Amino acid sequence: MANSEYEYVKREFELDSLLPPSNWIVVRIDGCHFHRFSKIHTFEKPNDERALRLMNACATSMLEKFPDIVFAYGVSDEYSFVFREETEFYQRRESKILSLCVSYFTSVYVMKWKDFFPNKELKEPPYFDGRVVCYPNLKTIHDYLAWRQVDCHINNQYNTCFWSLVKSGKTEKEAQQALKGTFSKDKNELLSQQFQINYDDEPAIFRKGSCVYRDKVETMVKTDRCGNPIKRTRLVITNANVDIIGPEFWENHPYILR
């Protein structure tokens, strides 16, 4: 490519911000104005499961497209993507990584919309914002994921109460007022006493959010001459609605973050 006299605008002005080495990279995307978007598309409240499954399908496509994403966690209109610590994806260029994640996720969301809402026209373009944060070690990445799941719990418990009150005839303002200053225990009591809802029986996809990762799955490829199965372990992209705050999940899946 010939060098023109204008080349300096790239050479001298384009700055590539490189993310620091030996850090886990998290890209978190979040739907823009999804309060409105969910209203326009008449999402069920507090949780439209189809919309959550659409988000999960987009996250699965992300892991298929970008092998360096080792784990994803999503709730509501947000998803966090964890890149492996030593990734050299786009030489760790921040703007490349962030823009690719946001645009690919958004495109897949639009493409897959009709699979989850076959009778609902997409009335306005969904769009997402995104940010990149680096975490220097395993403890901070675990704490990051725990932070998001605690947030999921707090919001979902609140929203479950709020929408139960609204559906029972209260105005949104009255519902908000009724929940002001309540603790977690009070909300569980309200749900069980007024609405016969045991919060722990609510679907895990609502209470726990969604994880997407590559799981080790043993498959039988064939049998040997004596008829004994020959097994092979494959990594299969998996979706699970499980606790990631305690150590159990990570002890059972030590190969995900390492």
Q: Which residue ranges make up the site for ligand ATP (CB under 6 A)?
A: 30-35, 38, 43, 45, 47-48, 51-52, 76-77
β pairing state of 229-240 and 78-83: unpaired
Alpha carbon distance 124, 70 (integer Å): 32
Q: Report whether 169 contacts 104 (CB < 8 A).
A: no
Which partner, ligand ATP, Mg ion, none, binds residue 48 by CB below 5 to 8 Å per kind? ligand ATP
Which partner, ligand ATP, Mg ion, none, binds residue 192 by CB below 5 to 8 Å per kind? none
Binding site for Mg ion (CB under 5 A): 22, 30-31, 34, 76-78, 136-137
Nearer to ligand ATP by Cβ, of 129 and 186: the residue is 129
Please tell me whether residue 130 adopts helix, strand or coil conformation: strand
To Mg ion, the closest distance from the beta carbon of 35 in angstroms equals: 7
Which partner, Mg ion, ligand ATP, none, binds residue 239 by CB below 5 to 8 Å per kind? none
To ligand ATP, the closest distance from the beta carbon of 252 in angstroms equals: 28
Retrieve residue 215's tokens: 């799981």
Q: CA Rg, the chain, in Å?
A: 22
To ligand ATP, the closest distance from the beta carbon of 38 in angstroms equals: 4
Which partner, ligand ATP, Mg ion, none, binds residue 22 by CB below 5 to 8 Å per kind? Mg ion
Q: How many Å from the N-terminal Cα to the C-terminal Cα in the chain?
A: 42
Q: Report whether 148 contacts 140 (CB < 8 A).
A: no
